[in-house]
Structures are given as structure tokens and as C-alpha cells.
A and B are shown apart, each in its own frame.
Chain A
């Protein structure tokens, strides 16, 4: 069977160059390209596999990429010029929820798990107990300073009274290097996106002790960021791109498609790793899932302003931003208006509000949406906190 889907293409606008990293949750962009969803929606898209978040950021900043599958805190860092030249970005849709693991070296993970089981502790508290008599801080890796991983890991550690610079020492280890760093002993654990935790487990180097879900259920993970100038110049293509990604997200979330998506992602030009390691992080890809990404269910593609505000709040908490007007920044970057306009022709239900109470639901709940309500999963934090974002400002 030929993999090339031939289509009548009525392409408008300029090329859309999208950067991505070798991660499970790059799936929607890869599926949208491989299945011709971008082309069907009139978008002339090109995908670029980038080796690092720094490349994604620099290429967006200097206009070598128009868009990227990105961790939202990095999008804010680029927008604010916190790590180089600044570039205005917009996020018209979210791409995934969950999918990260806290992976510790095998020996340490076994001790943590044993202590957690025996004492009925959370793994974070068990880790704290393991570190009590240690005189050196435990070296842990995160994938980038401005990553969801850095924020989630710090949040999780803090619930057990652990802090970076005190009980643990955080350093930046790119996801594709995390497993070898764990094997060489230069770090004792890491927080990274799938499939790298699973790859560490398969290599016998480490074990997962927590996942995104254990820290914040339904935690937003990757988003689709576009240079604001590109978005302004190509409004129709932008809407088409969002539609293509939303359609791809639905495909990726369907359990029956897991093995197909897994083998597509495993190709050399995409992730270039064992398809089985990827499969376990895809919805429906494992019988007893340890860690899975979510692409569509529970309004996963909607760019919640309350998510943006949570990220900015945490970035400020850990002193990663200067003085910022979080409300204005969140409203400028997270563009639910663009999402609504883009998906309207698909007839899908869209949330009515731009913010929700983050962490207020420990069971399934019903979200007000039009035309029909959306069934949402739990979204509670590991410490039971509830994050309330204030209502949206009236204008951008």
C-alpha cells in the first residue's frame, strides 16, 4: 500500500514550517502531515525534527520556523525574550495533556517504591524520606529551564518539602540524552516526556515513580505556538492548521489507532526509537498503562487561559520571570477566539468559558460547552490545591 495520500489541494497562503522534538506528543502534527489533513485544510505544511528546545526557540525567534509543538512555558520565555531574542507568539490550540514521567535510577526507585508501599506514603514523601540522611543534593535532570517538566517536578518535590538547590540539584538534560545520563550516573533521575521514561525502564536504567497524572491530572503539556506575525498574515491557513491538528488529535486519541500511530512515530525521520516504547504512552497502547498522553478527550485541544495563568504563576514562583502582567500576557498568547473560529466548521463542541477551576475536580464532571456539554476527567493536583484564574479581561 502506498503511504502517500493523493489529494486535490487548494492551498492558500505561504508555507507553514513546524518544528517538533522526538516525543510521543508530537503525534498530532506528524499525523496531520502524514494523513494529508494539513493539505486538505489548505495548509502547505513542512515538519522539521529539531534536536533541542533551544533550536525550536532560536528558529522561532529568527523566523526559520513559523510554528512549533512546544512546551507552553518556553513559548512565554520566547515572547518575553527571557532566553535570547524575543518573538511574539500565539497559541491557537493545545495539543496534549499528561505524558511526563519522574524516572529515578533503578536502585533509588526501588527503595522509594518500597517505602511508599510500606508506609502508605506518596512517592514524593518516600523520596524525601530516602534523602533524609544524604549530605549531597540529589542530581536530577529536567529537559529545559522553561519546560512543563521543570515546573511539574518542582511542584511535586515541594509537596514533600524538597527544593531545588537544597535536597536536589536540578540540571538541564535534553530528553534524548536523559537515558544515557542516568546510565552514566551523572544524574539520579529525570523528568521528561514520553517515550524517554519508558526507554529508560526498558534499558534497565531506571523506573518511573510518578507521572504527570500523579502531579496534576489532565495537566496541559504540548501546545501549538505560531509566530504572531505569521498568524496575522495567514488567517485562513492558521484556521486550517488548527482544524488539521484537531482532527489529528481525535485520530491519536482513538485506542484502535495506537499501533498505527506508534509505528508511524517510530520511523527514523520522526522519533527513531522502538515503536513498542512509544506505544505504551499512546491512548489504548497498553493494557495496564503506566503513563499516557491524552490528545482529544476532556477538551484537550482547547487553549485554556487558566492553564496559561497556572504556568505563569509557577514560573514566577520559581523566579523564572521578571515582573510580568500575567493576565495580559496569557490573554495575548492563549487565543481561544482563534480556536473557536477555526473549529466552528467541524461542528465540534467548544467550551463556553476561557477559564476553569484547575484542580477542583477529583471525579468526572460536565463542562458547559456548545452545542453539547463535554465530559471532563478529573483535574486535581497531588496536594489538593485549587487554582482559580480570574475572569478574562475584555480586550487583547
Chain B
């Protein structure tokens, strides 16, 4: 018997990947829904399970789904008897609601795929953010060095050492010191301009 799964995710690529993966198992029928009116989506799809991105405020509406389908119990995380699994799901940014009371062992492989996929996307996101931060830091250091070389006639290595020393003296991160230095210099220049 195929389980009907309502999938609510704003990331279309991730939703598509998860839909594909779940459909391959052969016992899951995936219905995708956009935000806004979840109550209507639940009424239309009559899912056994709802998998939802925790970044969506619509979860509040799902909590009150009893109002629409009084007959089917709403169980969060398809079984709150496994706190470690629920914890893993929350950390990955996914939450699930079991609407028709299917047992945990039946939906566990489905939920596990969702959690794994969310974890992978989160990992990619974190890496991207780290790479962006690093790039920004390098750009600011170059900018700060250029300011020092121009305004104080320092050589490039001297300028870098000056910044490092400033960070050490203030016992702060180089990135923070550089960002502040660049911002202050550039604001100062703007203010002194006629």
C-alpha cells in the first residue's frame, strides 16, 4: 500500500530530489504543496504523512490540523518515542507530522531519506557561507592594505603586519579589525568630502 506524503519545501531542487528518491521506493506517493494554505492542501491530498521544511511558518497551521480532520490523529515526527531521531531531524531543518497514525517503522526509511537530504543541503549551505566569508575577508584585507599603502606610504608586507599587530593588540579577530578599519576610513572620507 502506497503512503501519501505531502511535501512542503520552498527549495525546489531539494523537493524534486526528495520526491524522486521517495517515488523510487515504490511505496510512497508524493504530493508537493506550496506554502500559504496548508489546511486546504491537507484537505485535498489527505496525506498519511507531512514532511515540512522547518524554516516555514506554516508549521503553526499544521499543529491545528485536528480542526480539519478530526478523525486522524496528528503525531509529530511520526513517533515521539524516538527523541534522538527527532533531534536529528530538527537539526537538519525538517519536521514531519504523521496524520493517519502510520507506525514509525513504516515511515522511518522515508523520514530518514528526508533527514539525510536536508543534512546534505545544509552542509552545502554552510560550506558556501564559509567560502563567501573567506572571500569577503580577503577582499577587505586587500582593501585595507591598499588604504595603508596609499595614505601612510607603507609597503605591502608592512601594511599586512600593521593590521596583524592591531588585531593582536586589541585581541580581536583580524577579519573584524580589518572590516572596522575599512568602514571607518571610508566613512571618514565620505564625511570630509565637500
Contacts and interface: CB of A to CB of B under 8 A. Distances in A.
A85 B80 contact: yes
Interface string B72-84: 0000110010010
B39 A177 contact: no
A143 B60 contact: yes
B95 A58 contact: yes
B56 A59 contact: no
- Chain B: interface size category: 20 to 34
Interface in B77-132: 77, 80, 83, 86-87, 90-91, 95
Nearest to B37: A186
Interface in A264-308: none
A55 B61 CA distance: 12
Contact of B58 (A84, A177, A184): A177
Of B56, B63, B77, chain A has the most CB atoms within 10 Å of the CB of B63
B67 interface: yes
Contacts of B59: 51-52, 54-55, 174
A2 B181 CA distance: 11
A171 B68 CA distance: 9
A31 B57 CA distance: 24
A330 interface: no
A177 B57 contact: yes
Contacts of B37: 181, 184, 186
Contacts of A59: 90
Given A52-B56, A62-B83, A84-B76, A174 B61 contact: yes
A365 interface: no
A256 to B, nearest CB: 26
A84 B91 contact: no
Contacts of A62: 83, 86-87, 90
B64 A55 contact: no
A171 B57 contact: no
Contact of A174 (B40, B55, B57, B90): B57
Contacts of B64: 144-145, 171-172
A64 B54 CA distance: 13
26 contacts: A2-B180, A51-B55, A51-B59, A52-B60, A53-B63, A54-B62, A54-B63, A58-B90, A58-B95, A62-B83, A62-B86, A62-B90, A64-B90, A84-B77, A144-B64, A145-B63, A171-B61, A172-B64, A172-B67, A173-B60, A174-B57, A175-B57, A177-B57, A177-B58, A181-B36, A184-B37
